[in-house]
């Protein structure tokens, strides 16, 4: 599978991507995870991205294309990949198209995971993420067995720095202004699958049906 997962923050892109990797060995590529790793490690990339991320703004297209240009050429991408949180702007989508054409590759389609705003807001404020392995939990619907400790790797499970009410509201505005136009972009490319879903299983079923 070579898929783009589109959707607002909290739509479930990461959860769906993790489930899909188990189906056929495709790898999840999350630009958010890559950037958070760089911030935690204090690298030059992390320093450049940190302020924008904390405010819920996007980091620059150039920075993202630099990361993805390298990442998509790595060996593990040969088995397929699920792009989670990328592209996020029209210039990124256009640059990705050129990048893939130059590599002789073609995406299957872009999945737009459509979830009502009130569900998204509730999810984002109750979401917790493992700082070690990125596993996603929810204090209401999917809590850790021991509070604050990842069931899988024992890492610290915390609320993301960009999941304060202010940053969440900004991220949703940024999504509407800069990322939602990608739905039209991929529709014009004849590549769009929209799934109205509040459960990740429903999204997986729709993807399986489309892939046959």
Which chain residues interact with ligand AMP by CB under 6 A?
9, 31-32, 35, 52-53, 56-59, 64, 85-88, 92, 162, 171
Alpha carbon distance 23, 152 (integer Å) = 19
Determine the residue with CB nearest ligand AMP. Answer: 32
Shortest distance in whole angstroms from residue 209 CB to ligand AMP: 26
Q: Give the E-state strand segments of 32-190 in sequence order.
A: 81-84, 109-114, 127-130, 136-138, 157-158
Alpha carbon distance 42, 210 (integer Å) = 41
Shortest distance in whole angstroms from residue 73 CB to ligand AMP: 17
Shortest distance in whole angstroms from residue 127 CB to ligand AMP: 10
* Token pair for 69: 């240009």
Q: Is 160 a residue of the active site?
A: yes
Positive or negative: CA dihedral 127, 81, 8, 93:
positive
Q: Is 36 a residue of the active site?
A: no
Catalytic site residue from 36, 88, 123, 128: 88
Q: Is 18 a residue of the active site?
A: no
Cross-strand bridge partners of residue 5: 84, 111
Instruction: Specify the residue, 124 or 197, whose C-beta has the smaller distance to ligand AMP.
Output: 124
Shortest distance in whole angstroms from residue 197 CB to ligand AMP: 18
Instruction: Specify the residue, 74 or 205, whose C-beta has the smaller distance to ligand AMP.
Output: 74
Instruction: Specify the residue, 53 or 204, whose C-beta has the smaller distance to ligand AMP.
Output: 53
Catalytic site residue from 36, 123, 128, 171: 171
| Sequential DSSP letters for 133-174 | T--EEETTTB--SBTTB-TTT-PBEE--TT-SHHHHHHHHHH
Q: Is 128 a residue of the active site?
A: no
CA nearest neighbour of 1 among 77, 85, 86: 77
Q: Is 13 a residue of the active site?
A: yes
Instruction: Specify the residue, 12 or 85, whose C-beta has the smaller distance to ligand AMP.
Output: 85
Alpha carbon distance 116, 96 (integer Å) = 28
Residues identified as active-site: 13, 88, 127, 160, 171
């Amino acid at each position: 599978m070579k898929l783009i997962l589109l959707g607002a923050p909290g739509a479930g892109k990461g959860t769906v991507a993790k489930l899909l990797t188990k189906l056929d060995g495709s790898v999840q590529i999350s630009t958010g995870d890559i950037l958070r790793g760089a911030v935690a490690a204090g690298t030059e990339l992390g320093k450049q991205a940190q302020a924008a991320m904390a405010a819920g703004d996007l980091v620059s297209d150039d920075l993202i294309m630099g990361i993805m240009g390298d990442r998509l050429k790595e060996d593990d991408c040969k088995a397929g990949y699920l792009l989670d949180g990328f592209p996020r702007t029209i210039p990124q989508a256009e640059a990705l198209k050129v990048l893939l054409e130059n590599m002789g590759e073609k995406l299957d389609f872009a999945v737009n995971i459509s979830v009502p705003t009130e569900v998204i807001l509730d999810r984002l404020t109750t979401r917790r993420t493992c700082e070690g392995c990125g596993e996603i939990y929810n204090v209401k619907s999917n809590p850790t067995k021991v509070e604050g400790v990842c069931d899988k790797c024992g890492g610290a499970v915390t609320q993301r720095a960009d999941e304060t009410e202010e940053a969440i509201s900004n991220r949703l505005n940024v999504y509407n202004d800069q990322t939602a136009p990608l739905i039209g972009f991929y529709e014009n490319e004849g590549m769009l699958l929209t799934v109205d879903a509040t459960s990740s299983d429903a999204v997986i079923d729709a993807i399986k049906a489309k892939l046959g």
